[in-house]
Structure 1
Amino acid sequence: MRYGLDISSAGSWGDPRTMAEMAALAEASGWDGVFLEDYVFFPGGLESFDPWVTLAAIALATDTVRLGTLVTPLPLRQPARVAVEAMTLDHLSGGRFVLGVGAGDPASDDVRARGDALTARSAAEILDEAIEVINALWSGKETTFHGSHLDLSDATLRPRPLQRPGIPIWVGGCLTRRGPRERALRWDGACLYGTPPPTWRDVTADEVRALRHDARERRGDDTFVVAVGGRERRDDLDAEIDYVTSLAEAGTDWWHEYVPPRLPYDTARALVEAGPIRARPS
């Protein structure tokens, strides 16, 4: 199992230069990936910087860690712009970029700033169409797409991403529901989150096994990536190790640990430098 760091280009240490330094420290401290939340207007009114520009700085400051967004709310973005920015980051990083996508939080300031009604259903429909458009553009072939929400004619994006057949697309969310689960299984991976606060419930090992089973049945192989996480480290270290170990034994590929931007810089840096909590050897 690999270990990812979820951080945000927000708060007192969220500027691109400091984030690049933090990512380089993460790489040196044994983390396998650095992933950023993707907001325009960060929740809680924290000062924030663009995560995509920040990822460019991180790409230049690191050599081996995977990097990406967890997650980009595609219904709020222009798909062709996302496609070209992701392709550029893939080249800049030497083929290390992952595009995490989701429908977006209907209560977020980003959704309110959109200025029109975005229902759960329409967001899901736009998400499906946007993923199709982005993936088609990465082929380097002329792309035409006419959907219920998106329309594209005779568009060609070159160069292609470095990764073949394309940049990995991970679908994020609470995948116990059929729709999000089916969407994730059509692509390269899933990032599972527990029930949101204040009633947080962790993803269970049984849920990972069920998703892994469904992916194997659907695809006929074990190439589907299962990532779990998005929460802070808890104080009970033994319990955390037990939990992470159970996820690894269930077939989880990535465990992501969240370091919130509200933490003081020195505290956040110490957490990153300490490295990830690792599963016990099997």
Structure 2
Amino acid sequence: MPERLARRLWFGVGPGIGVADASEIVRTVEYADRAGLDFFTVSDHPYFGDRLEAYSSLALLLGRTRNITGVATVTNTPTRPVPLLARSLATLSVLSGGRVVYGVGAGGYWDDIVRFGVDRLGSAAAVRAMEEAIGLVRALHGGGAPVTLDGEFTRVDALDPAAVPAPLVWTGSVGPKSLAVTGRTADGWIPGNAADWRSERYRTSRPLVDEAAREAGRDPADIATVFNLPGRVTDAPLPSTRDATGRWLGGSTGQWTEELTEAVLEHGASGFVYFASGDPSGRIGIERWAEEIVPAVREAVAKG
């Protein structure tokens, strides 16, 4: 099982999830594994027919790699029976040697979720369902006595936990109630809408996570912040790495290195996901990410 994410730097790649891109997705994750990246991500939107199903993708990609960790960012809780999800996670963990993280969300696309045949939940109920799911997934790992739960959203009767350590939990929390769940229960948080360390979303949301963690008797430093970073890796420096709204655009390898090092040392960032599918430079972009930017950031951070 990977050590606690908040206590190390992790660098990942988002290879895409489109059915039409399947072969390139496999090649990208295999390359990321060889290049020493720490994790890859797949999104979970099973109601879209042009996208690969997340957990099937995780299984295949973990089977094609040796060291890299996989995570669905984030699992669409309303569309998956939680006890079966727990078994899927335990199975992936056993088969991969612990290389899986449980990414979880409350469900943000309710019109589409309803089309999938799921009853609509209000926002408060969806957050309660997410917290209940996190607790049950953890309870169904680690061995021990059978688990019975007469929950608000799931019932199980005397289910044996898998004799496998529970995975790390990352959330994609957005609203105050779900951010509080992150503070109480999670190991990591992925700010929504690719918000980064300079964004208003991050500045207003992370304190809610920290407050809930302290109220639960936890150290907020144990909850990692993992930033999604769509952006270009360019040959020459850009005049500005951000647009007029402050949103990250990318830049040269030097500009990426400077910004990410600042994010770690001054803003407490613990992880970054480079979205290879969003960079028109394609393979060149991911190679610069894995072979130039990531080693440079690690070195700069080590020097402090």
Provide the TM-score with structure 2 as the length reference: 0.75
Q: Which residue of 2 aligns with 1:146?
A: 150
Unmatched 5+ stretches in structure 1 = none
Q: Which residue of 1 aligns with 2:38?
A: 32
Residue pair 1:6, 1:35 contacting (<8 A) in 2 also: yes
Matches within 5 A, 1:269-280: 269-276=283-290, 277-278=293-294, 279=297, 280=300
> Would you say 1:167 and 2:167 are equivalent positions?
yes
Q: Which residue of 1 aligns with 2:27?
A: 21
> Would you say 1:4 and 2:3 are equivalent positions?
no
Q: Which residue of 2 aligns with 1:226?
A: 225
Provide the TM-score with structure 1 as the length reference: 0.81
Greater relative CO, 1 or 2 (CA 8 Å, sep 6+): 1
- Could you tell me how far apart the structure 2 residues matched to 1:224 and 1:52 are? 24
Q: For each residue in 1:19-54, what CA deviation from the matched residue of structure 2 results, as whole angstroms up to 9, or x when unmatched? A: 333211012234211111112123xx6x22222122
Distance verdict in 2 for CA 1:209–1:242, change over 3 Å:
farther
Structure with the bigger percentage of helix:
2
Equivalent pairs counted in the alignment come to: 264
- Could you tell me how far apart the structure 2 residues matched to 1:6 and 1:155 are? 35
> Would you say 1:258 and 2:300 are equivalent positions?
no
Distance verdict in 2 for CA 1:220–1:40, change over 3 Å:
closer
How big is the shift at 1:213? 5.5
> Would you say 1:236 and 2:251 are equivalent positions?
yes
Matches within 5 A, 1:181-260: 181-194=179-192, 196=193, 201-204=195-198, 207=203, 210=207, 214=211, 217=214, 218-220=217-219, 222-229=221-228, 231-233=230-232, 234-237=249-252, 239-249=255-265, 250-260=267-277
How big is the shift at 1:11? 4.1
Moved more, 216-225 or 115-124: 216-225
- Could you tell me how far apart the structure 2 residues matched to 1:221 and 1:181 are? 12
Unmatched 5+ stretches in structure 2 = 1-8, 233-248
Distance verdict in 2 for CA 1:81–1:213, change over 3 Å:
closer
Distance verdict in 2 for CA 1:12–1:147, change over 3 Å:
same
Counterpart of 1:123, as a letter, is: A
- Could you tell me how far apart the structure 2 residues matched to 1:133 and 1:209 are? 25
